[in-house]
Amino acid sequence: MSDVRLARVHYVPAALESGVLYVSDEYKVAMHLCACGCGSKVPISLGPAGWKITERNDKPTVRPSIGSGQLPCNSHYFITDGRVDWLRPMSAAQTVAALKSDHDRREDYYRDMNRKSLWWNRAWRRLLGWFGRG
């Protein structure tokens, strides 16, 4: 696969078409068949703690890179303006490091969100207390 087109969907279909990046904004997930042609489904979690997909001229760009180090093909690539830009295959150590980095990024994001939520809840309760409703 050398070109990727974007398909915005509510649900990702069970049968995927090669060369199509299916994006569900509602469920914050995207999926496509591995760019190498091996036929493996590659899920991409979206959002502040995941990948970001932008669109220009109906062509998707995905960041950071997509590393399929857990698949037998070990594919590693960017999708930029609908084009697959190949990177060196990921070694087992790089795959483990990338998975740990992804996990740590999600942990940090949700820990920070929890702190912000706790701060807001305490402030709200204090405000309600001032008005005799807390």
* 30 and 82 belong to one structural domain: yes
* 58 and 34 belong to one structural domain: yes
* 72 and 115 belong to one structural domain: no
* 78 and 98 belong to one structural domain: no
The answer to whether the beta carbons of residues 42 and 14 sit under 8 Å apart is no
Quick one: DSSP state of residue 120?
H
The answer to whether the beta carbons of residues 23 and 7 sit under 8 Å apart is yes
Which residue range(s) make up the domain with 46? 1-90
* 49 and 72 belong to one structural domain: yes
Residue-wise pLDDT tens for the chain (134 aa)? 679 999 999 999 999 999 999 999 999 999 999 999 999 999 999 988 889 999 999 899 999 999 877 788 889 999 999 999 999 987 888 878 877 887 787 787 677 766 666 666 666 677 667 777 65
Whole-prediction pTM: 0.74
* 70 and 29 belong to one structural domain: yes
Query: Dihedrals φ, ψ of 91, to 5°?
Result: -75, 170
Specify the number of domains making up the chain: 2
Question: How many alpha carbons lie under 13 Å from residue 115 in its C-beta half-sphere?
Answer: 6
CA distance 92 to 96: 6
* 3 and 53 belong to one structural domain: yes
pLDDT of amino acid 123: 67
